[in-house]
Structure formats: C-alpha cells, structure tokens
Amino acid sequence: MARRGSYAKGVAKREEILDAALEVIAREGFRKTSVREIATAANLSQTGLLHHFASKNELFTEILRRRDEVDAVNASTDPEARFIDTFPMIIRHNSKVPGLVQLYVSLATEAPDPEHPAHKFFTERFEGFREELVAEIQEGQRSGEFNTRLNPELAANSLLALADGLQTQWLLTPTLDMAAHIEAAIESWRSDPKP
C-alpha cells in the first residue's frame, strides 16, 4: 500500500499466474502436478512463482478460488440468477475440464487437515453455497415451486455432496452424465403436479 501501484501490481501478477495455471491444468490435466510445472506454464521458475505464494498448498488453493470466480462470472450475467438454476450449467461445464475436477477432488481430500490452506477455503465455500441453497429452497417452498415436505438443510447439503460425489465417480467413469443427475435431484424437489 505504501508505494504507488505495488499492491495492485502484485495482485495483477498473481492473477496472471493463476490464469496461466488454470489454463494448463484444464488442458493437460492434473495428477500430482508439481509447482515447477505450473511455474513453467507461467513462464517463471519455481522460486519466481513461489515468491507470490506462501507454499505449494496455498498456490493450489488460490487456483481453485480463482476458478470459482471465473465460473461465477461465466455461469450467469444476471446477478439475480438463482444458484439452483446456474448450478447444473456449472456442473456441465466441469465435464469439459477434467483436470480442474481432478484438482478440486484432490484438494478436497486434503482439506480436512486444519493446517492446510484448503481447509478454510472449502469450509467457507461449503457454508456459503449451503446458506444460499437453503434460502432458495425455502423461498421455493413459499412460492409453491418446491415440495414443502423437503427439509431445506438436508436437501442443500445433499445436493452439494451429490455434486462432489458425482465428480469422483465421473473421473473414474467419464461416461457418467453429472449434470443430468443434478437436474434430476432438483427436479425431485418440485411439488407434485396438481391432478
């Protein structure tokens, strides 16, 4: 903050690195990818890159954070759009970028460790999505869109867990249609049609 532009410059460089990382992981996949490989993709040495991040784990966590930002922008230009409605599109997009899905499940697996930077990221991410979903389900129940027998908290958790589990299954069996399963789950929430 003290010197002119230094802060913004640092942020810009970080984003440049993160976007290069996203691009290379989406293109080449992610399987125990090393910091060096990301550094090469960003035209930097390993140390040049780690100058901008505290550690390997922070780097990979920030890549995921950046991915969420990009996805949120791409999913909908309408700031009023519901999460419920954009979620299937995000999932469908995931099936275009297996490397990023692999990165996501890998870090999710490491996230239980409270020392890991991904711990905070996944905890907050889950909480945020969960609260948003609960609110949307409750609103849908008031409007008559969703079945009132649905428990909003259970349904919200289950949809998010379903999405995570589908990604694991899909990496193993890429013929699985993740988005179709998500859509069917949301469909099952709807009120029975009046006879």
Partner DNA sequence: GTCTATATTCAGATAGAC
Partner DNA sequence: GTCTATCTGAATATAGAC
Residues that bind its own copies (CB under 8 A): 31, 102, 105-106, 108-109, 111-113, 119, 122-123, 126, 151, 154, 157-158, 160-166, 168-169, 171-173, 176, 180-181, 184-185, 188, 192
Nearest to 20 by CA among 52, 1, 6, 4: 52
What contacts 39, CB < 8 A, 6 or more positions away?
A: 45, 46, 48, 49, 50
CB of 104 to its own copies, least distance (A): 10
Q: Which does 134 bind (CB under 5 to 8 A by kind): its own copies, DNA, none?
A: none
Query: Which one, of 59, 88, 54, lies nearest residue 71 by Cα?
Result: 88
* Contact window for DNA (CB under 7 A) among 8-16, 95-103, 123-131, 158-166: 8-16
Q: Is 9 in the site for DNA (CB under 7 A)?
A: yes
Residue 187: other Cβ atoms inside 10 A: 8
Q: Which does 50 bind (CB under 5 to 8 A by kind): DNA, its own copies, none?
A: DNA
77 neighbors 37 (Cβ within 8 angstroms): no
Query: Restricting to residues 29-58, which ones interact with DNA according to CB under 7 A?
Result: 32, 34-36, 39, 43-52, 55-57
Query: Measured in Å, how far apart are the chain's first and last C-alpha atoms?
Result: 65
Distances (CA, A) of 157 to 38, 133, 162: 33, 9, 8
Which residues sit at the interface with DNA, rule CB under 7 A? 6, 9-10, 13, 32, 34-36, 39, 43-52, 55-57
